[in-house]
Structure 1
Amino acid sequence: MRLIQKYCTNVVKIVLLTTLIFSINACSKDDSETTSLQNEAYWKISSTVSYAEGSSAIIITGKPNTAWSAEITEGSAWCSFSSKDFVNSASKVGTVKEGLNVLYVYYKANTGAEQRPAKISFQFEGGAAQTFDLNQLSQVQQNLPAFTTWVEIPERKENANYQYVTHYATLSNKKIRNYSICFDKTRKAALWVAYPIHSAYLGSGGRTDAWAFDPIISSIYQANCVDRSYNGAYDRGHQIPSADRLATTEFNSQTFYMSNMTPQLNRLNQDMWAKLEAKVRQNNCSDTLYVVTGAYFNSVATTTDGAGNSVSIPTNYFKVLLRTKSGSTGKAIKDCSDSELISIGFWVDHQSYGNIEPPRSICTSVAEIESKTGFKFFPQISNAVKQQNNPTQWGIN
């Protein structure tokens, strides 16, 4: 743009009419590209926050100098656009500027026994108003998985060190599940992460890299790798992959919670494991693919997180998969016969396999992984289905 403007100025100085017309057209073209910028506002991380006081952020993007307005229409007694004034700061106006635009929503601690909702109305000048829901949990509340309803959820296993959580996000104005976890506070890691895969979740958005603590689990139990990775040759290894949740920014951001991370060798994470994740995505279907990914700990090996705190290193990782054989029955899993279902398990040693496609040697049955981990997966299906181990059905050669 600067080069064009400089060129336009030089043309005016020498008063060459034909070149001036050319320059004006060139400048007009550049302006039309600027006006094509779309105005957009979205939660940076999540619309669900913990009971403790804090703030959440709405990211604003669009054409510079576009005016916008925001108003807290519900929850203004505990929500504000100012951290210092919860009485007179329920509305705010501004204009889109070059670079990062952030609207912070501050909230007080929830001392009640129930979660509470707030609503923020946001509108670009000349555009339709959109509503942002903010849900603050109570101190005793968890977003528990639907243990007997959702196909991917393993049976609940009672343990004082386990915390079960489900994260939700909004898609097409409907709040739906993103994923569920069984989080081990002593390991600072999830033992399993359960989630559905469907084209509606995959989307075409981008990776957010929105590293953050899980707002539902106390940060004292989570590894602190928000600003940097684990010490040594370990990546912040996702259990539910970022690439499985590209439908919206909120869906993707939630995969960057510390509760979804483990210290995973970079040459496993970026090579064979990444190829296994891609292979799993290729098996999505209209009936929905159900996945549980987990970490298994069978040693006392540790590393440190980005803040220098000790964290356990998994000895193995696993995945268990379930779907209909045809992929398009239109039936619920519980209504399918054994012959209509396929399943498989993958048991992966925590080591470098090289940059190779997933080998048949990691393939096993869901029943075998149940035996190794002590968890019962896919409780809606028979043990006969869980005994299957046919890699070719899943594209493993």
Structure 2
Amino acid sequence: MKEKKLISIAITVALVVFVTCVRLRESSGNKSSDKPKKTSTAKSAHNTTKSSRNITKSSGSTTRSSEATTASRMIVPSSSNDCDTRVKNTSDNNHLLLGNPSDAQPCMMLVNNYLIDRTYYVASYNSQRGIPNWVSWHLDADDLGKTNRTDNFRADPELPGNFYHVEGTDYVNSGFDRGHNCPSGDRSNNTSANESTFLMSNMIPQAPRNNKRAWAGFEEYTRNTLVRPGNECYIIMGSYGTGGTGSKGKVKTIDQGNVTVPARIWKVVVVIPAGDNDLERLGSSDVTVVAIDTPNNNKTIDNSWRKYITSVKAIEDSTGYHLLSNLPKKVQLALKSKVYVP
């Protein structure tokens, strides 16, 4: 009897040990499955965003998935230092010498008013509209050379990774041109300068007749009539409103809703004789201001940009921007009221 009891106890102990081992193994297996798989960190946030975007496009859907759209619109907080970088730019030839019209900052929380500096121009970029609010640059004879158009339309790799990145082909078959803010012709001194103007963060959907006729004429006038005789210019160009008419009719957006088509396009050109101490000289009587505000309408736009001459004050009233803010108040008031008709 004792032997049978011992055998029974031994069997029971063995079963308990076996069951315990099995449970421990299962528990260990579950813990290991909860561990995240190692992934390569070599891809940048920009590449990750573009990858998810391309997958959505290739699915054949006419609209991007809500997940892809949300990811591309995500706002990533930047360091607090980037959110308060208000520095008055007073040096000669500085692209922001006239001021920062919308108080844009290089802060990723400012998704609709993000300051970008592309060396050859500075801009306020609006990620939700997929276009710049405005672009500002200095132009003199040194910027004009013999470099041909590079036509290298491409996404801006320096935008924050979680901003929506417009591709160079996203305007194709939209009925709108890839319209430069800072023109290719204003940066013909070297290849790098010219290529910078073909970043899509410098583009707006522009009605073809507006782009190739009225605006092309104003750009040529600025370079050939204003700058080449011995002047320098401080230029701000922007757009506002929603909905324009291209070669295929009127629309509010293109690129499946990711790029807003502006209703109006404006530019302010402040001209002074070439020289030094520009900010001081902008308060003199030798200053000329040419401002235009055109409809982004392929059907109604006139070929002559002179039809759309206006005042800086009128553009301010339409956009809500504070233009020429670096200048003394009295000088601002005088220049903003001028309507120069060449």
TM-score greater than 0.5 by the shorter chain = yes
Aligned length: 245
Q: Which of the numbers 224, 234, 239 marks the counterpart of 1:295?
A: 239
Q: Is the 8 A contact 2:136 2:235 kept in 1?
A: yes
* 2:323 counterpart of 1:377: yes
Q: Match for residue 347 of structure 1?
A: 293
Q: What is the CA–CA distance in structure 2 between the aligned matches of 1:51 and 1:340, rounded to whole Å?
A: 50
Residue 152 of structure 1: how far off its partner (Å): 3.8
> Which of the numbers 125, 140, 145 marks the counterpart of 1:183?
125
2:242–2:260: 8 Å Cα contact kept in structure 1? no
Asked if structure 2 preserves the Cα contact closer than 8 Å seen for 1:230 and 1:304, the reply is: no
Secondary structure, aligned partner of 1:340: coil
**d(CA) in 2 for partners of 1:214 and 1:152?**
25
- Report which structure shows greater RCO (CA 8 Å, sep ≥6): 2
Match of 2:116 in 1: 165
Give the structure 2 partner of residue 322 of structure 1. Answer: 270
Q: Deviations over 1:223-271 (max 9, x none)?
A: 5332352442111111111111111111111111111111111122112
In structure 2, distance between residues paired with 1:161 and 1:277: 27
Decide whether the 8 Å contact of 1:161 with 1:184 is kept in 2.
yes
Measure how far apart 1:299 and its partner are. Answer: 5.0
Q: Secondary structure at the match of 1:192?
A: strand
Q: Could you tell me how far 1:165 is from its partner in structure 2?
A: 1.0
1:194–1:370 distance in 2 versus 1, CA, 3 Å: same
Task: Give the RMSD, CA atoms, in angstroms.
Answer: 3.0
1:284 aligns with 2:232: no
SS, match of residue 89 in structure 2: coil
TM-score relative to the length of structure 2: 0.64
Deviations 1:36-68 (A, max 9, x none): xxxxxxxxxxxxxx97688xxxxxxxxxxxxxx
- Aligned residue number for residue 169 of structure 2: 227
1:59 counterpart residue number:
none
Structure with greater proportional helix content: 2
Inter-CA distance 215–329: structure 2 relative to 1 (3 Å threshold): same
For 2:191, the aligned partner's letter is: T
The corresponding residue for 1:356 is: 303
Larger radius of gyration: 2
Q: Which runs of 5+ in 1 are unaligned?
A: 1-49, 55-138, 169-177, 393-397
Contact map agreement 2:111 2:128 (CA 8 A) in 1:
no
Q: Is 2:98 the counterpart of 1:148?
A: no
Q: Please give the alpha-carbon distance, in whole angstroms, between the structure 1 residues aligned to 2:137 and 2:313.
A: 19
* 2:264 maps to amino acid: N
State the distance in 2 between where 1:345 and 1:371 align: 13
Match of residue 238 from structure 1: 180
Distance 1:367 1:206, change over 3 A: same
Structure 2 stretches lacking a partner, 5+ long: 1-42, 48-77, 91-95, 105-109, 245-250
Cα offsets for 1:86-144 (capped at 9, x unmatched)? xxxxxxxxxxxxxxxxxxxxxxxxxxxxxxxxxxxxxxxxxxxxxxxxxxxxx8697x8
Deviation of 1:376 after TM superposition, in Å, equals 1.3
CA pair 273-222 structure 1, distance change in 2 beyond 3 A: farther
Cα distance in 2 between the residues matched to 1:311 and 1:328: 38
Equivalent residues in 2 for 1:42-121 (5 A)? none
Q: CA 1:348/1:147 → structure 2, altered by over 3 Å: closer, same or farther?
A: farther
2:46 and 2:204 map into 1 onto residues whose CA distance is 27
Conserved 8 A contact 2:294-2:301? no
- What is the deviation of 1:309? 5.0
Q: How many Å apart are 1:216 and its aligned residue? A: 2.0
Deviation string 1:350-383 (CA, Å, 9 cap, x unpaired) is 1135673323x30011121111111111223321
Whether contact under 8 Å (1:230, 1:263) holds in the other structure is no
Q: Distance in 1 between matches of 2:297 and 2:243?
A: 14
**% identical aligned pairs:** 24
State yes or no: 1:365 paired with 2:318: no
Hey, what does 2:54 align to over in structure 1?
none
Kindly state the Cα deviation for residue 340 of structure 1 after the two structures are TM-superposed. 2.3
Contact 1:145–1:166 (CA under 8 A) maintained in structure 2 = no
**Paired residue secondary structure (1:377):** coil
Contact map agreement 2:99 2:323 (CA 8 A) in 1: yes
- The 2-side partners of 1:187 and 1:227 are apart by 17
Give, in angstroms, the shift of residue 162 of structure 1.
Answer: 1.3
Q: Aligned partners of 2:221 and 2:113: how far apart in 1?
A: 30
